[in-house]
Structure 1
Amino acid sequence: MYDGRRVRSCSHYLCDYKKKTVTPELKQSWICPECSLGQPRQRTGDNTPIRDNPRSQPPADDDASNITHRVKTKQVVKSDNDSPVTNGTLRHMLDCFKKDVTGIIANAVANAVSVKFDLITKQIADFSSSLSFLSEQYETYKKRQEEDFNILMNLQDENAKLKSTVTDLSLRLNLAERHQRENNVEIHGIPEHRTENLTNCINHLAKTVGAAIIEEDIMQVVRVSKLDKDSKHPRIVIAKLRNSRQRDVLLAAVHNFNKKNPEKKLASHHLGLAGENTPVYVSEHLTPTNKYIHAAARKKAKDMKYKFVWVRNGRVFVRKNESSPAILIRNLDSVNLIT
């Protein structure tokens, strides 16, 4: 490359252009492309290396006068396509590339985040709507539950009151029935006949046991239906006397007769009745409630080996032995007192 100073000419034209005619001026200034690479570069104010040019074609004979001009033009003039690449340029290109890639990634991430955010926002809106609906349903259910709880509490209070009322009414009814039956005696074991006269049977019974009762003291005598239709025992006879004192006299007389005749206790033959001789039992006419209490007391007393169970004025008593105190059985709960 020619930079205005005197340079050593090369002799390559001898090998490249042996058969060509070259002027002396050209010999002094012309340098082939291979030798031009070893020449000092033109100073342009920076250290940018000059990119290699393609190998120049040798000039034609008719254009030998323009060789110097072409070499100088190629050495001095630089096109935009042959701009030097420096570290700064590479860094600038790398920064631009980074910015472009960063921008592309940022846009892609922003788009993805936007889509996801829209989806999450929609899901949150749907969840909020569902939660509001469930909250309303819960409040409605809670309100109904409170109402039902209040109703239940009121029903429990009413039920407790009704139970207390029923218990009180049952006691009153039992007391009224007991007073209504206080003049009655209940007789078990009298055989049934079509032509029977129950009043004569009661008179004969009173005479047999030695009770001071006449026919006028017997107000009414009837048979009552069986609770168990399949039972083979005769129906019970209920005798209504004039007053409770006569009832007690008859009961005491029967008790003394059985006590004096332990082997021949009161039976159907003592009443002048023909047929099979069957035992006859005389007791107070108890109310259904007291009958149930009496049966429960007898069963419990038998299990606990109590010796005495009896009824006096419609009330049930038990005693473990002769020296033990009597226990009044008022109701089913009192049966637990038999221990």
Structure 2
Amino acid sequence: MKCVSCSVDFNDGVQCSSCGGHLDFACANITEVGWRKLGNDRRAAWKCPRCRIASPARTPILSPIPTPEPASLETILSEIRELKMHLAGLPILSEDVKLMREELKDLKTSREFDGCRLDEFSAKLAGIESRVVKLENLEESLFSLQTDVDTIKSESAMSDQRSRLNNVEIKGIPQRKDENLFTILDRIGQRVNFPVLQNQINFITRIPVFSGRDKPIIVSFLNRYIKEDFIAAARLLKGLSGSDLGFVGVTNRVYINDHLNSNSKKLLNRTRLMAKEKEYRHVWVKHAKIHVRKHDGSAVLIIASDGDLNRLK
């Protein structure tokens, strides 16, 4: 074979994966020992010095990210997606650095290089290392932004739940055309021995659900303490059913609880599963907060997040 660089015939050498040219080890800037160490995959991806110089940078060099002003959740998520795109090239650059270090070690050992080539090689290596450092810094920024997103989501969920503190959710009431929800609430109040006056109510309505079941009734009280007393009275009456409220033939259970948002309901379901696994006997909601207790007389734990589930031993 003839070397594409010096045009001298040779018997053993390397082949560029980009241009397909054959080079002897001296023109390829690599020793025979170094070439054997690369392994099949890296030899198949090896490029000659000319193709390496002509190849475009794998990842654009990014300018430092300026300190942002307070941004919306949508803006932060957009920045995170952009950072993830830039970070996609980090493993490739790290592999290139590892390969170039091994080649540099072989070159120094064999002394088959001159000062000019070493300076060029070292400059390229320094440039790649600089880009790796920048990408690592971007990775730290990505982690910080993700933390901000989690904080915003948590605060939003807490704010949403606070807005429901005066609300009661009633499930299991059959839905009828032209029904009067105030009349239904009055029946419930009489049945649980806690009459509710209309001037104590902010609003009462049914809300849609994804399943085909009857829509639950939401009652918003003007006074939080009246709402808590109403729930407490309802819980004293075990097994309230539709027939107890005048619905003939309706025997299903009626549930009266705090009005939890979707996040709190999902956390409540996870808490019940964990409590069952850890043999906790009591799980309940009070003041829109999830409570657990292992047995009568044991300490009560409040579950406010998934992290609190780790406290169940």
Shorter chain as denominator, the TM-score bin is 0.5 to 0.7
- Residue number in structure 1 paired with 2:84: none
Residues 256-313 of structure 1: CA distance to partner in whole angstroms, max 9, x if unpaired? 122xxxxxx2111222223422210000011222111111111111222211111122
SS in 2 for 1:130: coil
- Residue number in structure 1 paired with 2:170: 187
CA distance in 2, matches of 1:119, 1:150: 41
Q: Does 1:305 align with 2:279?
A: yes
Task: Please tell me the residue identity of whatever aligns with 2:28.
Answer: S
CA 1:270 to 1:142, structure 2 compared with 1: closer, same or farther past 3 Å?
A: farther
CA 1:119 to 1:224, structure 2 compared with 1: closer, same or farther past 3 Å?
A: closer
SS in 2 for 1:196: coil
What's the CA shift for 1:189? 0.4
- Residue number in structure 2 paired with 1:279: 253
Contact 2:186-2:195 within 8 A present in 1 as well: no
What's the CA shift for 1:185? 0.5
Task: Please tell me the residue identity of whatever aligns with 2:237.
Answer: F
Alignment partner for residue 203 of structure 2, among 206, 214, 220? Answer: 220
Task: Please tell me the residue identity of whatever aligns with 1:134.
Answer: P
CA distance in 1, matches of 2:162, 2:8: 87
- Residue number in structure 2 paired with 1:131: 29
Task: Please tell me the residue identity of whatever aligns with 1:157.
Answer: E
Q: Which has the larger radius of gyration?
A: 1
CA distance in 2, matches of 1:210, 1:119: 104
Q: Does 1:154 align with 2:134?
A: no
Residues 85-107 of structure 1: CA distance to partner in whole angstroms, max 9, x if unpaired? xxxxxxxxxxxxxxxxxxxxxxx
CA distance in 2, matches of 1:338, 1:319: 9
CA distance in 1, matches of 2:296, 2:25: 84
Alignment partner for residue 328 of structure 1, among 280, 284, 302? Answer: 302
What are the residue-to-residue correspondences of 1:1-339 with 2, within 5 Å? 127-131=25-29, 134=49, 137=53, 139=121, 142=125, 145-146=128-129, 148-227=131-210, 229=211, 231=212, 233-258=213-238, 265-339=239-313
SS in 2 for 1:300: helix
What's the CA shift for 1:249? 1.0
Query: What value does the CA root-mean-square deviation take over the aligned residues?
Result: 2.9
Task: Please tell me the residue identity of whatever aligns with 1:189.
Answer: G
Contact 1:241-1:247 within 8 A present in 2 as well: yes
CA 1:194 to 1:141, structure 2 compared with 1: closer, same or farther past 3 Å?
A: farther
Task: Please tell me the residue identity of whatever aligns with 1:172.
Answer: E
Contact 1:199-1:218 within 8 A present in 2 as well: no
What's the CA shift for 1:329? 1.1
CA distance in 1, matches of 2:248, 2:202: 26
CA 1:150 to 1:210, structure 2 compared with 1: closer, same or farther past 3 Å?
A: same
Contact 2:206-2:216 within 8 A present in 1 as well: yes
Contact 1:224-1:238 within 8 A present in 2 as well: yes
SS in 1 for 2:29: helix
CA distance in 2, matches of 1:141, 1:211: 80
In terms of mean alpha carbon deviation, does 310-319 or 130-139 score higher? Answer: 130-139
Task: Please tell me the residue identity of whatever aligns with 1:327.
Answer: L
CA distance in 2, matches of 1:181, 1:207: 24
CA distance in 1, matches of 2:166, 2:149: 27
Gaps of 5+ in 2: 1-6, 14-22, 31-47, 54-99, 101-120
CA 1:131 to 1:251, structure 2 compared with 1: closer, same or farther past 3 Å?
A: same
Task: Please tell me the residue identity of whatever aligns with 1:168.
Answer: T
CA distance in 1, matches of 2:246, 2:202: 21
- Residue number in structure 2 paired with 1:22: none
Contact 2:242-2:251 within 8 A present in 1 as well: yes
**Moved >6 Å (runs of 4+):** 118-121, 123-126
Matched positions, count: 212
Gaps of 5+ in 1: 1-117, 259-264
CA distance in 1, matches of 2:186, 2:138: 56
CA distance in 2, matches of 1:315, 1:119: 82
What is the TM-score when the length of structure 1 is the normalising length?
0.56
